[in-house]
Amino acid sequence: MKKALLVLSVLILGVLAACSSNSSEDGDNATIKYAYWDKNQEQMLKDLVEEFNKEYPDIKVNLELTPYDQYFTKLDAAATGDGLPDVFWMNGPNFVKYASNNMIEPIDERIKEDSVDLAPYPEGLLGLYQYDGKSYALPKDYDTIGLWYNKALFDEADLEYPNDTWTWDDLLEAAKALTDEEKGVHGIAAYIQDAQASYYNTILANDGFIISEDKKESGFDDPKTIEGLQLYHDLIHVHGVSPTHAQMETTTATSMFESGKVAMMFQASYMIPQFKSNEYTLENVDVTVLPIMNKRSNVIHGLGNVIASNSDNKDAAWKFVKFLSSEKAATMQAEAGIIPAYEGTQKAWVEATPEFNLQAFLDMAEVSEPYPVSKDTSKWATIIQDNIAKAWTGQLTVEEASEIINEEMERILANE
């Protein structure tokens, strides 16, 4: 009898062990790390984890905050030692390096198996996190670019506010009318300190490109790229409607805009909190879509949630990533003041700041193109910036700067 009970006990333990093993394979009873860099989102992320645990109570998520200036240094070191967090934030400039070195997990099969609908996400944002024909992230949020303008200055000049019918010629005409040398007011700021928010957009809207889709060719030998740069450059050097590069190095274009010395500027949605907290801009400015050139276009950038390729908890990590990009999670982000990537959930975000026409940034997402990246983005991005600055100060023509950029960029891309 005792022998029979012993055999039965062993069988029961075996069944329980098998159940436990299967549960682990399904992603249950797991602990995963989730790395991020923005402390301002900490409470929102805690709320997301709490909501996730309502469906998956046996998956514990440990949040791991690292300031941005240390974030990728820490990740690089962790990758070398096979110690990456299970799930972590990824951005465009660093994505290809991680994907090409097999540090993050492709997710196409999981998307297919779980029938994840990608239609609600901006196409440009999905494209940002694709490499060698594979997808590596589900989008979290995004930034697009709009035309910010000073309503008070437009009113003083008796001009109609910018709208979605504006062309580049309309923008130039208004900038000329708004420029008042005696008052030190400029119609627009053709700054270059933030490529994503400035000249990248005139290149794209002019049908040029920064880097080819296959990441192998520079676009700076394309006449349309050069022309898109030239039009932006000429706002300073031909039309005199923008502060000079030297002036904007001393006092930023944003500071001039916030003090009523610049009437218009291209700027990203990530500036909303700053313009909302500034008493002058909160009362006097608004935003609309960028003007049409050969087309209306702009750079889209946003964060993606990725899974470490060496994670021991990939099933649990996938469940969490899938939740983070769900409609529910997107709605929670919107309510926290972040543009969610999931179409149809941004209403709360728009309504949170009725002082500005935030719908413009959602409209720009529909005509967006991915932030230009490759394996070594920082190397050629620095070359672009350095030579554009020389063109803006008059040391080089736009054509000369573009020729140098193209040659150096092609050399870098050939060695990636």
- pLDDT tops 60 at residue 12: no
User: Residue 410 has what pLDDT?
Assistant: 97
Two tokens at 220?
């700076």
Domains identified in the chain and CATH numbers = 30-142+302-352 (3.40.190.10), 145-300+376-414 (3.40.190.10)
Q: How confident is the model at residue 253 (pLDDT cuts 50, 70, 90)?
A: very high
- pLDDT tops 80 at residue 7: no
Mean pLDDT of the chain: 92
**364 residue type, one letter:** M
- pLDDT tops 80 at residue 16: no
Residue-wise pLDDT tens digits, 89-129 = 999 999 999 999 999 999 999 999 999 999 999 888 999 99
Cα dihedral 47/52/54/60 (nearest 10): -100
Q: How confident is the model at residue 82 (pLDDT cuts 50, 70, 90)?
A: confident
Q: How confident is the model at residue 60 (pLDDT cuts 50, 70, 90)?
A: very high
- pLDDT tops 80 at residue 34: yes
| Average pLDDT over every residue of 388-397 | 98
Q: Are strands 134-135 and 298-300 parallel, antiparallel or unpaired?
A: unpaired
Residue-wise pLDDT tens digits, 170-182 = 999 999 999 999 9
User: Residue 26 has what pLDDT?
Assistant: 56
CB 141 within 8 A of CB 128: no
Q: Give SS3 for 56.
A: coil
Residue with tokens 């400035």: 198
Write the CB contacts of 410 (distance below 8 Å, at least 6 apart in sequence).
217, 218
Could you tell me the CA-to-CA distances from 86 to 16, 30, 55, 311, 326 in Å, in that order?
27, 11, 19, 5, 19
User: Residue 111 has what pLDDT?
Assistant: 97
- pLDDT tops 90 at residue 81: no
Q: How confident is the model at residue 397 (pLDDT cuts 50, 70, 90)?
A: very high
- Of 7, 18, 61, 13, the closest CA to residue 316 belongs to 61
- pLDDT tops 80 at residue 27: no
Residue-wise pLDDT tens digits, 286-322 = 999 999 999 999 999 999 999 999 999 999 999 999 9
Within 278-353, where are the H helices? Answer: 279-284, 314-324, 327-335, 347-352
| Average pLDDT over every residue of 206-224 | 96
- pLDDT tops 70 at residue 197: yes
